């Protein structure tokens, strides 16, 4: 199968990034490395391009979000012979041999109208099955777009900038008559937020909680409000999916060490939603 990959960077850990890329570079025809960092880093470009001659590195000089870079990757890949586009985060990787197994699942798929394939990033919550299954939504990292359907599905929504970009696209996949196919047996190494220890207000027991940077709280809340109240055609299952995703930020209002900034960003998120201010904060 002809497949291109794209990984989007923002001030990455170079050593970790190199190791992550090595877990999926081999089967790819080409890997687009798009750097959203504000400052150009020659050492970063040199280090990444030393991995393989398949890599095309591009620095843009400003952070214009995830959606815009994915759309640029789609447009470029459509001009090539590649039928598929793998999308990766800088902090994501595959376990040894899993990417090849994933491609086998995609290549042997008999189901028609699959808009995108995805992987399991939270095995503690998502049961592992040997047979791929339909999913309400997929995360961007590790997902593979089937490009022949992109014209009917449409591109990623650049108004969202970051957070719920993958969710909104997944909903559009199904709302246009296509499928999100989850390959839950492929478990991605992927970090979701930062973990801190917090005490329950109910049981008073300590446990690890996922928190986010205050700016991520802004995007999560603003974009969730947008999808719930201004987005057209959401099903009951999709609304439930959004609400489940939003609930995780409750930890930020209790346990985040930058709690004042969290509340300030939440207030701005509500204001910007009400005044329809989208894109970059």
Q: What is the pLDDT of residue 2?
A: 96
Q: Are residues 63 and 177 in the same domain?
A: yes
Domain count for the chain, please give it.
2
Asked whether residue 132 falls in the same domain as residue 254, the answer is no
pLDDT confidence of residue 209: 72
Q: What is the pLDDT of residue 201?
A: 58
Backbone phi, then psi, for 182, in 5-degree steps?
A: -90, 120
Contact between residue 10 and residue 72 where contact means Cβ atoms under 8 Å apart: no
Q: What is the mean pLDDT of residues 103-132?
A: 94
pLDDT tens digits, one per residue of 125-184: 889 999 999 999 999 999 999 999 999 999 999 999 999 999 999 999 999 999 999 999
Asked whether residue 126 is domain-assigned, the answer is: yes
Mean pLDDT estimate for the chain: 94
Give the position of tokens 């939270």: 122
| Whether pLDDT at 204 is above 60 | no
Residue 191 clears pLDDT 90, i.e. is over it: no
The CATH number given to whatever domain includes residue 48 is 3.90.550.60
Same-domain check for residues 50 and 158? yes
What is the structure's pLDDT at 205? 64
Has residue 280 been placed in a domain?
Answer: no
- The per-residue pLDDT for range 237-273, each reduced to its tens digit, is 999 999 998 888 999 999 899 999 999 999 999 999 9
Instruction: Return d(Cα 187, Cα 184) in angstroms, integer.
Output: 7
Q: Which residue range(s) make up the domain with 106?
A: 3-189
pLDDT for 207 equals: 63
Q: What per-residue confidence (pLDDT) applies to 159?
A: 95
* CA dist., res. 126 & res. 98, Å (int): 17
Helices (H) and strands (E) in the chain, counts: 10, 11
pLDDT in tens, 12-29: 999 999 999 999 999 999
Identify whether 75 is part of a domain: yes
């Amino acid at each position: 199968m002809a497949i291109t990959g794209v990984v989007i960077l923002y001030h990455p850990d170079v050593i970790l990034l190199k190791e992550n890329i090595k877990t999926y570079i081999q089967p790819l025809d080409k890997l687009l490395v798009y750097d959203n960092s504000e400052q150009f880093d020659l050492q970063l470009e040199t280090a990444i391009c030393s991995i393989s001659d398949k890599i095309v590195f591009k620095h843009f000089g400003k952070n214009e979000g995830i959606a815009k870079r994915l759309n640029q990757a789609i447009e470029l890949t459509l001009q090539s012979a590649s039928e598929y586009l793998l999308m990766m985060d800088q902090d994501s990787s595959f376990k040894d041999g899993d990417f090849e197994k994933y491609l086998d699942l995609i290549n042997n798929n008999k189901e028609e109208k699959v808009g995108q394939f995805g992987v399991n990033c939270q095995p503690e919550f998502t049961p592992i099955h040997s047979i791929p299954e339909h999913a309400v939504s997929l995360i961007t990292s590790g997902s593979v777009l089937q490009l022949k359907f992109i014209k009917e599905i449409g591109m990623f929504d650049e108004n969202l900038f970051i957070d719920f970009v993958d969710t909104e696209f997944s909903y559009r996949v199904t709302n246009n008559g296509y499928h999100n196919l989850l390959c839950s047996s492929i478990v991605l190494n992927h970090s979701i937020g930062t973990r801190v220890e917090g005490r329950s207000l109910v049981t008073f027991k300590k446990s690890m909680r996922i928190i986010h940077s205050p700016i991520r709280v802004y995007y999560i809340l603003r974009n969730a409000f947008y999808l719930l109240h201004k987005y057209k055609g959401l099903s009951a299952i999709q609304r439930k999916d959004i609400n489940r995703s939003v609930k995780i930020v409750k930890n930020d209002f209790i346990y985040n060490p930058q709690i004042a900034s969290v509340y300030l960003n939440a207030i701005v998120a509500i204001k910007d939603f009400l005044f329809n201010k989208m894109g970059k904060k």
